[in-house]
Structure 1
């Protein structure tokens, strides 16, 4: 009797946590359904990406592609020259790995992998995290058999017959926090500006510290490596309690302790907030591609799940006043969290995993 063939899944894309973490969630959900699976991530050279992937027990390789958006003519030309070699290299990687299917999660590094998979006639699935799709997924759509979306309305950018609404996959450790004991002696604010921090959020919070101290507020603040010393000095000067960290490794623990979250409006962050039912103040990154973070944030605000402040209007005084209003009204915070929960799709990773399996017709 022949042994059952091991399934080989490739996750294409990365570069940011917003692309990478959904890919990891999809891979883990797929492995839960198809235990005899090996997973290869093909993405960028960024150290954090390789670290996150290998920590989960998956293999990592580099696509060898370069982004083009926002570059000058010479750099765009250089990226274009590299593209054929990148596609060829990705074809070799897929053949050596003996890939059965490829799921693209966005980012410039996903493009060559998707095209290589199509040339090799491997099934391709895309997942789009944002309300406005990025360039890589828009260009890759023609090569995909299925496209999974996070936000209603995003199908306008793709062939509608390929699209399904799945939500944005969230890591298992985040989904599990709602069972934790969240009783605390004082209200807790979580400030997260992304993996590198956000200078605008850091400045607004540090300007607001004298007023926030009067609230008896405790702050968990991820401020980024480059700003950590300045921010810590501001907390010490204000005599403010809190944890000022360059990066938060245990996000599930931080979410569990928080009564309210101040953050950017990246799709992964919003998926996590809605999956666990956590109210937030959202400050969209103003330079995000196609202004997608503001569109993401407005969707939550219009559904009563968050409050939005545009960065151009963000200042310490107004932020302190809003925090005081929200944190002094537990009923309003609870309503905001409940509205966020209604928007959550904690089953998203399983939906995408099922979609991949349905294409390959290889079930457990």
Structure 2
């Protein structure tokens, strides 16, 4: 009898890394009967995201890259955690005996990359951003196959554009979506969803609240639906906060337009759902990758990139996209098929 194929997936940090990893892992289990195990980092947010899918990953005792902090003490602590994570990753690889390791970027991918290189285990790395991160560039130099979520992957000489695995849309009726979220909304109005990413974004929330106040003064029947917790008690009457959501089907089902940061996975979900988006790149993102993502999203016809340092008010692109309306949800299943083609299984 042939042994089932074993795949080790490393993903952590934020939902932008974890969600496409889990979607791909579940697809491999369902379509190819593969045995899939997961490696994650030590942040509580990572545990929460995985738990929402009923997954308990092997956790590495690391919460960030040593290069991502300025404090010498924190740099030392993270360096020590990285060394301990190498030991943990080695034990995991020895136990699981994977046929291939699939990395989804970020600091969590470095320990299994090093262990797999020493153990000569094939590695494939998926980059959700249009600019390759440090681990992706290192993996590329070491001969790993690089899959990109976009038709660009700046910083690596060779890559295959596969798209980003996303959850298949489950379009709900407005009444069912409101019921699932325990949400009261006026009938017949348009909804602007505001998604700041799994880590949130105070600046984006403040700008979106100002836009909501503008539409309220105009008397337009537009409700702003924010993921996350409210920043305070004094909110415009056309604003609702719905907390953190891991089941995004009710939220996306209600949205006519999105306001969001330019994380690769968020943009891929907007394209999959056919929801036009005003994309606000985080200007301090490493190597300008959110700006590059936003340009790719515009080129794909997904919406409008709006710069916080520009002179145009946020309301202007919102009004244009509200007039345009949403398109059809397509589910974008090809990303899993294309990524699977790179695996030596």
Selected match of 1:275 from 246, 269, 272? 272
Give the aligned partner of residue 220 of structure 1: 225
> 2:69 maps to which residue?
71
- Taking a change above 3 Å as real, the CA distance of residues 247 and 57 of structure 1, as seen in their structure-2 partners, is closer
TM-score in terms of structure 1 length: 0.82
Selected match of 2:257 from 255, 260, 278: 260
Decide whether the 8 Å contact of 2:304 with 2:317 is kept in 1.
Answer: no
Displacement after TM superposition at 1:244 (Å): 0.9
**1:103-160 per-position Cα deviation (integer Å, ceiling 9, x unaligned):** 0001101111111112122221110110101112111223454211112231x52242
2:335 to 341, 344, 348: 348
**CA spacing shift, 1:74–1:165, aligned 2, 3 Å:** same
Q: What is the CA–CA distance in structure 1 between the aligned matches of 2:246 and 2:61, rounded to whole Å?
A: 28
Kindly report which structure 2 residues correspond to 1:225-236, keeping only aligned pairs within 5 A, or say none: 225=229, 228-230=230-232, 233-235=233-235
Counterpart residue number, 2:93: 94
SS state at 1:147 partner: strand
Do the aligned residues in 2 keep the contact of 1:91 with 1:120 (CA within 8 Å)? no
Alignment of 1:1-364 (within 5 A): 2=1, 4-35=2-33, 37-65=34-62, 66-72=64-70, 73-154=72-153, 157-160=155-158, 163-172=159-168, 175-177=169-171, 180-181=172-173, 185-213=188-216, 214-222=219-227, 224-225=228-229, 228-230=230-232, 233-235=233-235, 238-240=236-238, 242-313=239-310, 318-327=313-322, 329=323, 332-334=324-326, 337=327, 345-356=332-343, 359-360=344-345
CA contact (8 A) 1:25 1:169 kept: yes
| Alignment check: 8 A CA contact 2:152 2:161 kept | no
Residue 297 of structure 1: how far off its partner (Å): 0.8
Cα distance change, pair 281–85 in 1 and its aligned pair in 2 (3 A):
same
More helix by share: 1
CA distance in 2, matches of 1:91, 1:110: 13
Please give the alpha-carbon distance, in whole angstroms, between the structure 1 residues aligned to 2:100 and 2:311: 45
Cα pair 1:204 1:314 within 8 Å, conserved? no
Q: Is the 8 A contact 2:6 2:35 kept in 1?
A: yes
Q: Deviations over 1:57-76 (max 9, x none)?
A: 43311223440233234543
Task: Give TM-score, length-normalised by structure 2.
Answer: 0.86
Distance 1:8 1:278 in 2: 36
**Distance in 1 separating the partners of 2:89 and 2:321:** 50
Instruction: Please give the root-mean-square deviation of Cα atoms over the aligned residues, in Å.
Output: 2.6
**Could you list the runs of 5+ residues in structure 1 that have no partner in the other structure?**
none
CA distance in 1, matches of 2:18, 2:77: 25
Q: Which runs of 4+ in 1 moved over 4 A?
A: 180-184
Q: Distance in 1 between matches of 2:335 and 2:84?
A: 34
